Amino acid sequence: MKVVHVETGRHLYGGALQVAYLLRGLRDQYPGVESVLVCPPGSAIAVAARDYAHRVVCLPMKGDLDVQFVFGLKRILRAERPNILHLHSRRGADLWGGIAGRWCKIPTLLTRRVDNSEPRSWVAIKYRMYDHVAAISHGIRDLLLNQGLRSNKVTCVHSATDTDQYHPGGDRRWFNQEFGLASVHIVAGVIAQLIDRKGHRFLFDALPSLIRSHPRLRIVIFGKGPMEQKLRRHIARLALDPYVIFAGFRHDMDRILPCLDLVVHPALIEGLGVSLLQASACEVPIIASNAGGMPEVVCDEHNGLLVPSGDSKALQDAMDRLIPDADLRRKMGQNGRMLVKQKFSISQMTTGNHMIYEQLLT
């Protein structure tokens, strides 16, 4: 069986990281599968996939309006003659990839990673191009069913994380020196792009009261995005600069996560949340919004707490509960690692995709 995978993300996080995991899993579990990756030149996935894919083919991708992408992909498909075309990205690859798959008459699988709605009329047209859809959470699957897709055309295949790479036992002394913290501080991390739907503002609105109750609390913001300056001004207006650290995008989150006391994820929507899987693998308790696929990663009162999305007061109450209770944080963290190993392993994610490949071939 030969599978051509298409991933247009340039950085090795989110969907691109999941593609790398899948390619590795297919190599290890199904040696009869030949994987060919199509990705942008100079992308991180192009480098990472060299150890896992049989071939990496670089194809420029300039966005949703890049009509030339479909012709380039068509040439690759005709040269490779795969049994399956697996589209992993939404950024242009879903539409143009679907068209290329139809032109070449190749069974096509789309992995859907986001939980935002699309117009029902557009869904009826667009998803006709795909023979099957893999949703990374039950929340996304339910959304697609509500928008008119047949139940036998959509399968939930959860994203995964590497529990060997992400594990408890961080070096807190190094962490404190790296971010200018002290041993007495209780550190909550926020790991997300600095964009509106990630909900940073709801945490910031809760901070004045939280700091009054817990003056040892420090917030470390990991990620970059177009809202960074706006969020910095928000913190400055609240006079909370000493309590909030903007750490930017980091490539060493596997070293950082075990050092956190808590992860807070106040996103309004989220397909699943790979950073939440990584945090749980490191035995870090989580407070997250009860929206999208997040409740599938964060089981309320088990490995964290769920709050209504956009509710700063509920977020504050949840943090008020976990910040002073080290024993509860420790217990929830341990539960989280067990949950990830049971439900979100690379092996399970690989098996789920391979089952769809076999279904498409028959």
pLDDT per position in the chain (362 positions), as tens? 999 999 998 888 788 899 999 999 999 999 999 999 999 999 999 999 999 999 999 999 887 778 889 999 999 999 999 999 999 977 768 889 999 999 999 999 999 998 877 788 878 888 899 999 999 999 999 999 998 899 999 999 999 999 999 999 999 999 999 999 999 999 999 999 999 999 999 999 999 999 999 999 999 999 999 999 999 999 999 999 999 999 999 999 999 999 999 999 999 988 888 999 999 999 999 999 999 899 999 999 999 999 999 999 999 999 999 999 999 999 999 999 999 999 999 999 999 999 999 999 98
pLDDT for 90 equals: 73
Which is nearest to 234 in space by CA: 204, 197, 198, 266?
A: 204
pLDDT at position 296: 94
Distance between CA atoms of residues 322 and 307, nearest Å = 13
The DSSP call for residue 195 is: S
Q: pLDDT value at position 19? A: 96
94: CB partners within 8 A, 6+ apart? 87, 110, 126
List % helix, strand, coil for the chain (3-state, nearest 5).
45, 15, 35
Let me know if domain 2-160+345-361 sits in CATH 3.40.50.720: no
Q: Are 287 and 315 within 8 A, CB to CB?
A: yes
Token output for 162: 């590497």
Q: Which residues pair with 112 in a beta bridge?
A: 135
pLDDT recorded at residue 362: 87
Q: Which of 138, 149, 89 is nearest to 115 (CA)?
A: 138
Cβ-Cβ contacts under 8 Å for 24 (sequence gap 6 or more): 51, 52, 346
pLDDT score of 35: 98
Please indicate, yes or no, whether the overall pTM of this predicted structure exceeds 0.85: yes
Q: DSSP label at 194? A: S
What is the pLDDT, as a whole number, of residue 121? 80
What residue type is assigned to position 336 of the chain?
Answer: G
pLDDT of residue 228: 96
Integer Cα distance of 25 and 14 in angstroms: 17
Domain with CATH 3.40.50.2000 in the chain: 2-160+345-361, 172-343
Q: Write out 221-264 in H/E/C secondary structure.
A: EECCCCCHHHHHHHHHHCCCHHHEEEEECCCCHHHHHHHCCEEE
Per-residue tokens: 357: 């490949």
Nearest 5°: phi and psi at 344?
A: -130, 40
Question: Cα 276 to the chain's mean position, in Å?
Answer: 8
User: Could you tell me which residues are beta bridge partners of residue 138?
Assistant: none
Q: Return the bridge partners of 84, or none.
A: 3
Q: What is the C-alpha separation between 128 and 95, in angstroms, rounded?
A: 11
pLDDT at 85: 98
Locate 232 and state its tokens. Answer: 């910095």
Residue 277 pLDDT? 96
Which pair of tokens denotes residue 339? 């949950």
Question: In the chain, at which residue ranges do the beta strands (DSSP E only) sit?
Answer: 2-6, 34-39, 55-58, 84-87, 108-112, 132-135, 154-156, 186-191, 217-222, 244-248, 262-265, 286-289, 304-307
- pLDDT number for residue 292: 87
- The topology under which CATH files domain 172-343 is Rossmann fold (3.40.50)
